Amino acid sequence: MKYFALTLIALVAVSCGENPPPTTPFALNVPQGFPPPPIPEDNPLTVEGVLLGRRLFYDPILSRDSTQSCASCHSTSFGMTDHGLQFSVGITGAVGDRNSMPLHNLAYHTAFFWDGRSPMLRDLTFIPIEDSREMDHSVEGVVAKLNASPAYRELFWKAFGVKTVTAEELGLAAEQFMLSIMSGSSKFDRFARGLESLTPEEDLGLRLFNGEANPNAPMRGADCFHCHGGTLFTNHKFVNNGLDSVITDPGLGGVTGNPNDMGKFKVPSLRNIAYTPPYMHDGRFQTLMEVVDFYNSGTHANSPNIDPAMGDIIRSGGLGLNLQERLALVAFLNALTDTSIESDTLFQNPFN
């Protein structure tokens, strides 16, 4: 009994001396005019958590041979995409089959990847870690590496109050950093706030962007706003935009198993679109003009599950935009570029 009491006293003394240090709330820089982002209640942003997530994002320790990090395929110089590559290349030289997606403003999203396979941002990191075409590792292996690092054990202790790192804390840290990547300081945003003017060409592009593709309208628009409207320039839906007459990539349908979802992909935000070529889920278009030309006259009305609005446009003869109008549309899309995405020190490599 005496030994039990002594042991209990010792355990209490140890536990009382190991209270984790308090964390510092992280002040998220929400762009003016953006709604408050729905930060997960079980993962409030802290300075310690965000900086730990950034360190993990840039650390090749996440890959099997410690040669590739998340930042390897999501560069700030390319709007958090993969250096203009059509497909990313993994540590073994294997090549993926979908274009790298940007990571800004993910706090407003509820499904991730082109096919929506991940419903939670904190799980986003695990998929490339375990993909044989990417980091070719295991989450368990990464966690073992982190626990073998005194520096990482200390950082996880300060951020989450844990002495032993688990996959849960790995996901939470990665989520916190990705939640912090906000973008809303483009020329268009300054124009919307009355701080800058658009050029006549950009202004024409804006009007075309928000115009209806109605042959009876006084000015025929490009109908972009239906899928890419609003503050974030996406409706967050999954659609088939008529890329192919025969579906070769099931997209959302490969996740849900629903035949009606075959060929549907996530509608991407158009913010920073000039930074992120090539375009579409398979990176088939190298330039924005190619994208505009596709919507103007290259879509396939017979594509299975095509979005009804797209089908209506095609059957009415396409958008019918002339060269001047197409150039204006591209000029407006370029005005959605936020240069802070590559200059903000928060998003830069902490190992440099």
Least confident of 39-48, 190-199, 210-219, 222-231: 210-219
Confidence (pLDDT) at 16 = 45
Query: CATH for 187-334?
Result: 1.10.760.10
Residue with tokens 């006293």: 9
Q: So where are the chain's domains?
A: 24-183, 187-334
CATH class of 24-183: mainly alpha
Nearest Cα to Cα of residue 92 among 67, 56, 75: 67
Q: Which residue has the higher pLDDT, 5 or 206?
A: 206
- Give the residue-averaged pLDDT of 171-179: 98
DSSP state of 260: G
Provide the token pair at 294: 């596709």
On the question of a cis peptide bond just before residue 31, with omega within 30 degrees of 0, the verdict is no
- Give the count of beta carbons closer than 10 Å to the beta carbon of residue 294: 17
For residues 168-192, one letter each, b for 16 or more C-beta atoms within 10 angstroms of the residue's C-beta and e for the rest, the string is: ebbbbbbbbbbbbbbbbbbbbbebe
CA quadruple 189, 273, 172, 35: dihedral positive or negative?
positive
Question: With 70 as the cut, is the pLDDT of residue 233 above it?
Answer: yes
Look up the pTM and report it: 0.91
Which pairs count as long-range contacts for 338-344, CB under 8 Å and 24+ apart, including other chains? Answer: 338/104, 338/183, 338/184, 338/185, 338/186, 338/189, 338/271, 338/272, 339/185, 340/183, 340/185, 341/76, 341/79, 341/80, 341/104, 341/181, 341/183, 341/272, 341/275, 342/76, 342/77, 342/79, 342/275
- CB of 145 within 8 A of CB of 156? no
φ/ψ (deg, to 5) at 216: -95, -5
Reported as a pLDDT band with limits 50, 70 and 90, residue 298 is confident
- Give the residue-averaged pLDDT of 181-192: 97
CA distance linking residue 14 with residue 170, whole number of Å? 26
Question: With 80 as the cut, is the pLDDT of residue 217 above it?
Answer: no
- CB of 50 within 8 A of CB of 167? no
Confidence (pLDDT) at 315 = 75
Nearest Cα to Cα of residue 178 among 106, 75, 228: 106
User: ∠ CA 230-236-241 to the nearest 5 degrees?
Assistant: 100
